A and B are shown apart, each in its own frame.
Chain A
Amino acid sequence: MQPLLMGLAAIVAGVGGIVVLYWVLNTAVEQLPAKWEDRLKPYVFIGPPLALLGVFLLWPAVRTIYLSFFDARAAEFVGLDNYVRMFTTPRYLESLGNSLIWILIVPSLSVVLGLFVAVLADRLKPTTEKIVKSIIFMPMAIALVAAGTTFLFIYAWSPPGTGQFGLLNAIWTGLGGEPQRWLAIDTARTNTILLTLVLVWLQAGFAMVLLSAAIKNVPEDTLEAARVDGATEPQIFFRVVVPQIATTIVVLLTTITIFVLKTFDVVWVTTGGRFGTDFLPVTFFRELVVVRDQGMAATVIVVILIATIPIMVYNVKQYRRQEAMA
């Protein structure tokens, strides 16, 4: 019961504290001459959240970049050693290669499946459409480790001759194959690909929801005009609909890519990165928690950070363009 009480106290203290903090700051600023009040008040409003971000995210991020030039115990400056190690050691190279597979498969497959469902479900009766979408969307709510455990069961192996309770092996042996330890097969990256499917299962619904909203926003008269011009349905879809939802597709591809780059849970709970399934976020976690090499952990995450910079730039540009239009 004790943690429960603590939680309650935290809510009261946290919420109450923030209300009191804002009230006090606001009252204080209101005592100032009007000119100063107007100048300072915005900073009162944005102060607390920006302070949190600065202290617990921005500053540590800068420190991390700095630490990536230090040794395992963050004691001795080693220059670019960690980076050299990262790009020359087979273990890390494998992790980099697998990351590429994750980035190539998960965002694109999720978007394609999401688009597929969004377009088809649009033609159903409203109630049926809702049910279909709920089902596809549902895995979004599930914890990644729980999803990983679920698929671990689907990919499970038991010795030949015994009952195969793993679904994939049941189908495989039903087709006449020998039971396989699927997650131990790294030929053609089979295991990594099987694991990416878990994330596709989770993310396709996310893509579907956004794409569905975007498709419903496509003005009817543009479709009508194309029909009058004698365009076929596939032509209308690819030449009229797709260009109008292109922004949403890009947003999805970038958002899911970012998500993939920080998501280690599925691999951690299934293979722990063994059998050649290591990839960057898993490597980071292992370096930090198991190997306890702070310099290397920092280096891995800096590499991930660098990979996200193009997306960051794109988002900022996109925001600027919208502001200019508004």
Chain B
Amino acid sequence: MSSASVPTVEQDTEHDRAPAGPAASGKTRRGKGQILINAVLLALCLFWLIPVIGLLISSFRPRDEVLNTGWWTVFANPLEFTQQVTIENYVEVFEAGMGAAFINSFVIAVPSTVIPILAAAFAAYAFSWMRFPGREVLFIIVIMLLVVPLQVAFVPLLRMFVGMGIQGTFLSIWLAHSTFGMPLAVYLLRNYIGSLPREVIESAKVDGASHFQVFWKLVLPLSVPALAAFVIFQFLWTWNDFLVATIFLRPRPLTVELVQLVSQFGAEWHLLMAGAFVTMAVPLIVFFSMQRFFVRGMTAGSVKG
């Protein structure tokens, strides 16, 4: 960060610019500064988009084209490109296993997201609104587990799952993901549930409601934004996970299938690009449709913590 990021303002114009207000005075200088800002941000956005654009274009080009010319050349001959567009790459990767993997990804991600959330919400409620010995210590353990790399459980967990006879099954990965997602779930939800107004909880208690009723009828409905944020987090995390799936699951989800494609067809870029995009499609849809909740959940969880 140098001063370049902040348009320099001469000292004699102290009231030159409110930080967010485009209506500030000092138009000419502001105008020039604004153009510079726009240019820098445009460049940065292009930089950020290029990898995905290149991937998307390449995934629709025939093999020979992908391997002979750069994807950016299509902008020189857009007409030619429209004639060449093919979905053959997608058909091929779907038949090579991505179709089945797509279903497996759902079967991993949905239960792994839904199962832990209710338990986490109960715990978050107890940590926020119930007094009991050990509360402090147990919550500190949750905070500590928040940063523990999940790999630390792998070696014994593998043996444990083998011992239980569930190694390689979906059940084992649901258990693993539910556990690994739990510290963040409890932490995020406690931040939210703990910030609900005390009067609301207490007046319900005065009216004779039990903790169970308060939780079920009052706290849970009020916590929908936080629950939604966690659902998005955990869904993206479990869908995008490669590590846990490759170690604990025999059927292959998209991420594992993609790595398989890369090692199998290292130079068949048209297939790899299609495969990579299939892997990204659902998270991108989730991301763009739910971005608001996602951002809210993140800022609630981390700005405070």
Q: Shortest beta-carbon distance, A291 to chain B, in Å?
A: 13
Write 6 A-B pairs (CB below 8 A) sorted by A numbering.
A11-B110, A11-B114, A15-B118, A146-B240, A304-B149, A316-B143
The residues of A that contact B120 with a CB separation of less than 8 Å are 49
The residues of A that contact B38 with a CB separation of less than 8 Å are 124
> B236 — nearest CB in chain A belongs to which residue?
A141
How far, in whole Å, are A187 and B28 apart by their CA atoms in the complex?
48
Question: Are A262 and B150 in contact (CB-based, < 8 A)?
Answer: yes
Q: Shortest beta-carbon distance, A83 to chain B, in Å?
A: 16
Question: Are B145 and A7 in contact (CB-based, < 8 A)?
Answer: no
> B269 — nearest CB in chain A belongs to which residue?
A153
Q: Shortest beta-carbon distance, A322 to chain B, in Å?
A: 7
Query: Per-residue CB proximity of A293-323 to B under 8 Å, as 1/0?
Result: 0100110011011001001100110110010
A248 contacts chain B at the CB level, 8 A cutoff = yes
Question: Are B71 and A165 in contact (CB-based, < 8 A)?
Answer: yes
The residues of B that contact A43 with a CB separation of less than 8 Å are 132
The residues of A that contact B17 with a CB separation of less than 8 Å are 233
Q: Shortest beta-carbon distance, B92 to chain A, in Å?
A: 16
The residues of B that contact A183 with a CB separation of less than 8 Å are none
Taking a contact as CB atoms closer than 8 A, the residue among A6, A52, A297 that contacts B182 in the complex is A52
Q: Shortest beta-carbon distance, A28 to chain B, in Å?
A: 12
Question: Are B287 and A138 in contact (CB-based, < 8 A)?
Answer: yes
Interface size class of B (residues with CB under 8 A): 35 or more
The residues of A that contact B11 with a CB separation of less than 8 Å are 230, 232
The residues of B that contact A153 with a CB separation of less than 8 Å are 54-55, 58, 269, 272-273
Question: Are B103 and A213 in contact (CB-based, < 8 A)?
Answer: no
> A268 — nearest CB in chain B belongs to which residue?
B259
Question: Are B114 and A14 in contact (CB-based, < 8 A)?
Answer: yes
A49-B182 in contact given A149-B275, A305-B148 (Cβ < 8 Å): yes
Taking a contact as CB atoms closer than 8 A, the residue among A141, A149, A251 that contacts B276 in the complex is A149
A251-B258 in contact given A112-B1, A311-B147 (Cβ < 8 Å): no
Question: Are A61 and B148 in contact (CB-based, < 8 A)?
Answer: yes
The residues of B that contact A93 with a CB separation of less than 8 Å are none
The residues of B that contact A39 with a CB separation of less than 8 Å are 132
How far, in whole Å, are A318 and B259 apart by their CA atoms in the complex?
39
The residues of A that contact B147 with a CB separation of less than 8 Å are 254, 258, 308, 311-312, 315
The residues of B that contact A254 with a CB separation of less than 8 Å are 147
Question: Are A42 and B210 in contact (CB-based, < 8 A)?
Answer: no
Question: Are A134 and B144 in contact (CB-based, < 8 A)?
Answer: no
The residues of B that contact A123 with a CB separation of less than 8 Å are 19-20, 22, 34, 37
Question: Are B305 and A319 in contact (CB-based, < 8 A)?
Answer: yes
How far, in whole Å, are A237 and B17 apart by their CA atoms in the complex?
13
Question: Are B149 and A149 in contact (CB-based, < 8 A)?
Answer: no
How far, in whole Å, are A150 and B295 apart by their CA atoms in the complex?
25
A289 contacts chain B at the CB level, 8 A cutoff = yes
Question: Are A121 and B41 in contact (CB-based, < 8 A)?
Answer: yes
Question: Are B119 and A49 in contact (CB-based, < 8 A)?
Answer: yes
A251-B156 in contact given A140-B287, A142-B283 (Cβ < 8 Å): no
Q: A45-B125, A265-B255 are in contact. List 4 more A-B contacts (CB 8 A).
A: A14-B115, A57-B179, A143-B242, A201-B48
For window 45-81 of A, CB contacts with B under 8 Å fall at: 45-46, 48-50, 52-53, 55-61, 63-64, 67, 74
Q: Shortest beta-carbon distance, B52 to chain A, in Å?
A: 7
Q: Shortest beta-carbon distance, A51 to chain B, in Å?
A: 9
B96 contacts chain A at the CB level, 8 A cutoff = no
Question: Are A305 and B119 in contact (CB-based, < 8 A)?
Answer: no
B51 contacts chain A at the CB level, 8 A cutoff = yes
A-B complex: 7 closest residue pairs judged by Cβ atoms:
A141-B287, A7-B107, A45-B126, A143-B240, A60-B153, A42-B132, A63-B156
Taking a contact as CB atoms closer than 8 A, the residue among A22, A209, A210 that contacts B122 in the complex is A22
Which residue of A14, A268, A322 has the most chain B CB atoms within 10 A of its CB atom? A14
The residues of B that contact A122 with a CB separation of less than 8 Å are 19-20
The residues of B that contact A49 with a CB separation of less than 8 Å are 116, 119-120, 122-123, 182, 185-186
Query: Per-residue CB proximity of A1-42 to B under 8 Å, as 1/0?
Result: 001101100110011001100100010001000000001011
Taking a contact as CB atoms closer than 8 A, the residue among B54, B130, B135, B153 that contacts A56 in the complex is B153
Taking a contact as CB atoms closer than 8 A, the residue among A45, A149, A316 that contacts B272 in the complex is A149
Question: Are A3 and B107 in contact (CB-based, < 8 A)?
Answer: yes
How far, in whole Å, are A233 and B7 apart by their CA atoms in the complex?
7
A146-B279 in contact given A4-B106, A11-B110, A230-B11 (Cβ < 8 Å): yes
A179 contacts chain B at the CB level, 8 A cutoff = no
The residues of A that contact B103 with a CB separation of less than 8 Å are 3-4
A57-B305 in contact given A146-B255, A165-B269 (Cβ < 8 Å): no
> A113 — nearest CB in chain B belongs to which residue?
B44
Query: Per-residue CB proximity of B262-305 to A under 8 Å, as 1/0?
Result: 10000001001101110110011011100100010011001111
A106 contacts chain B at the CB level, 8 A cutoff = no
Stretch of B80-88, B169-177, B222-230 that contacts chain A? B169-177
The residues of A that contact B8 with a CB separation of less than 8 Å are 232-234
Question: Are A119 and B5 in contact (CB-based, < 8 A)?
Answer: yes
Which residue of A6, A53, A57, A145 has the most chain B CB atoms within 10 A of its CB atom? A145
A141-B51 in contact given A15-B114, A42-B126, A318-B305 (Cβ < 8 Å): no
